[in-house]
Chain A
């Protein structure tokens, strides 16, 4: 009988496995994983990595689309031109301002809307949810045009409706100055994307265990205490993911500016600069350099969120 109790020492590892390597089963799983995810992976490479590398390569050249014969290697001088140009820093400032203002307001509004969606009477809940989501379904260009018409001095209704406010009159030209232009651009952005943030926050709200709420209630916690001690700490991951997505999105703002001011009154954003150099001026080299700097800024933002605020993207999906 003793023979059977002894472990078969020679067979502790499968014969086929390389020394210190993986089991057959693990290998098969990995192969299946590649088979399933591989096509998507290569498509992603083709549509994201390739353009990024191409743009990085192009950014080292002085290259005008209509004059390919005079394309010449200039090293990093395109970056030098951009980073020493006040226009770049002004555009970066405008972009950061719009990003900060819109994301902050959207977070507050979005949270309020998420609470409404979560707590609304169950009979009207689907209607409320659909109504809140409508702006997000509108194409950005269309929403930008709609807001432009609303604030337009000739066709708009805003001037006559809000003439009782100080500083607003029938002669107020909203797109004639920097501050008022930025204000309208921000409003349009906030109206358009608050539903997105509230949708993500709604998912976060749903994750807060009801037992914790009940326990806090039993302990005599007020609504405010439950909100700040139970609800918000438990949905931190969802909040951070919502913030991250919206910040990245807001940083790339283009459509509203393009439609409403076309960059007048110093309202150009970083994306707008990239558009103007690449598409309007056809300076592929300079424009690519702007795009690469925009990409670096986006990577930095994502890095700060993920490392700095310790956002775990997998938590937002609820699979912790």
Chain B
């Protein structure tokens, strides 16, 4: 349940405008079909369908559909991009896409992919190889973590679109009362102490879902370790780094935070966290930037006092150890081109249009999804909507991706099984238990 899928809830509901747009599209579609039919009749063997590209998108606030429309217009008839919406949860998006690709579905031209699943798609041969000139263009000025997330086995296999990262959000009033100097990097321990003193909670993702893996990975990386110490193509050869000094520190931190996580910590995801923070139950929160436009639109809708977001403060993700910079979570969406698409060249052309600087800036300001291109962060329009854009950019430079492996689903599922609920973690045992479980699952000796 990573946030790229939850962002959609922050935007305005599709109302009559959406319906009109849809019917316009439908009309446009039938008109195009008519034109197509006459063209086909006129010149016989023309492969007319190739000019319609289907882009499988994750649910958002309508930004991707708008970008598809803009790129269709910009293409001047070379291609038409149609969007098709995937399920809400990123794990379900993966399930749907991968089953269809395993059946060599040629209707999948462009896909919005959650980065941790990219190695699996690439290794299975489901992604069309990215031509070198396209690689050069789409990685230019792109933040390092987004390039890393688009890479598998030393090659760029997808097109970076937008890059997400978590910040530490805090209530300025509470941090001041607790005497925290938020201009300096803070540690989790300082936050827990401040929360205890002030009688408030820390909102983090304690739910048994992908979000828990995101948090755990950030803690281990911040402590200087890695979930996967040594990767391998052979599932039995993967060495985990959980039962290390950094892994134990991460487990300790998780358990510590769960003590001040509030009553529903074990079921809290990003949306519940944002609600707790808005309502004032939590004074500290680690979360994706969508919480900012979410609070703004709640104020506009009259469901939230304007003084609440005015009290929002933001800084880099907390550190595990004093003096050691944190490794914030990295998320976002990359575009993969289906290997079985009938128009791979057209799909790459369309993907390049989709990730243009202008479209990334549009997507950032309207949907709250931060751009992968560093230059977008200097855009005055972006800075006006997102005063925290420079912090997001810095966080992206520091961010660490989740373990890159073909068997990501097994690794993440095993972590979720053993580290949930966070309050029952035993730092001396849980990392070892998780290692045993994941290794047995990868060897095919246990169920998950």
Contacts and interface: CB of A to CB of B under 8 A. Distances in A.
Task: Judge: A and B partners, yes or no.
Answer: yes
Interface of A: 62, 65-68, 81-82, 85, 87-88, 153-154, 171-173, 175-176, 261-265, 273, 276-277, 279-283, 286, 290
Interface centre among B264, B267, B272 (most CB of A within 10 A): B267
A173 B448 CA distance: 25
Interface residues of B, number: 31
A243 to B, nearest CB: 30
Contact of A279 (B95, B120, B266, B446): B95
Contact of B208 (A66, A68, A173, A262): A262
A176 B98 contact: no
B98 A273 contact: no
Nearest to A277: B447
B267 A262 contact: no
Closest 8 CB pairs between A and B? A264-B208, A171-B263, A66-B124, A153-B264, A173-B264, A176-B266, A87-B447, A175-B267
Given A66-B124, A154-B275, A280-B413, A286 B102 contact: no
Given A66-B120, A262-B209, A281-B409, A176 B444 contact: no
A263 B448 CA distance: 11
B19 interface: no
A311 B446 CA distance: 39
Contacts of B276: 154
B413 A276 contact: yes
A176 B421 contact: yes
A85 B447 contact: yes
Nearest to B262: A171
Interface string B261-275: 001111100001001
Given A81-B447, A88-B447, A154 B409 contact: no
B263 A173 contact: yes
Contacts of B275: 154
B91 interface: yes
A280 B99 CA distance: 10
A309 B365 CA distance: 67
A85 B441 CA distance: 11
Interface in B393-416: 406, 409-410, 413
Nearest to A289: B447
B420 interface: yes
Interface in B69-123: 91, 95, 98-99, 102, 120, 123
A262 B266 CA distance: 13
Contacts of B197: none
B445 interface: yes
B447 A82 contact: yes
Given A173-B264, A176-B264, A281-B413, A62 B444 contact: yes
Interface string B204-216: 0001110000000
Contacts of B272: 154
B102 A154 contact: no
A154 B271 CA distance: 11
B318 to A, nearest CB: 24
25 contacts: A65-B102, A66-B98, A66-B120, A66-B126, A81-B445, A81-B447, A82-B447, A88-B447, A154-B264, A176-B266, A264-B207, A264-B208, A265-B421, A273-B447, A276-B448, A279-B99, A280-B91, A280-B413, A280-B448, A281-B409, A281-B410, A281-B448, A282-B409, A286-B444, A286-B447
A263 B208 contact: yes
B420 A65 contact: no
A280 B263 contact: no
Interface centre among A62, A67, A264 (most CB of B within 10 A): A264
Interface in B182-211: 207-209
Contacts of B91: 280
B263 A153 contact: yes
A262 B1 CA distance: 11
Interface in B241-282: 263-267, 272, 275-276
Contacts of B444: 62, 81, 283, 286
Contacts of B208: 261-265
Contacts of A262: 208-209
Given A173-B263, A276-B413, A290-B447, 20 more contacts: A65-B98, A65-B102, A66-B102, A66-B123, A67-B124, A81-B444, A85-B446, A87-B447, A87-B448, A154-B272, A171-B263, A172-B263, A261-B208, A262-B208, A263-B208, A264-B266, A265-B208, A279-B99, A280-B413, A286-B447
Contacts of B266: 173, 176, 264-265
Contacts of B126: 66
Interface centre among A67, A154, A273 (most CB of B within 10 A): A154
Contacts of B124: 66-67
Contacts of A175: 267
Nearest to B423: A176
Contacts of A153: 263-264, 267
A248 B37 CA distance: 51
B267 A176 contact: yes
A222 to B, nearest CB: 51
Contacts of B446: 81, 85, 87
Interface centre among A66, A261, A286 (most CB of B within 10 A): A66
Nearest to B1: A262
A85 B446 CA distance: 6
A176 B209 CA distance: 13
Interface centre among B91, B264, B447 (most CB of A within 10 A): B447
Contacts of B123: 66
A301 to B, nearest CB: 22
Contact of B420 (A88, A264, A280): A264
Interface in B416-448: 420-421, 444-448
Nearest to A266: B417
A204 to B, nearest CB: 41
B142 to A, nearest CB: 27
Contacts of B410: 281
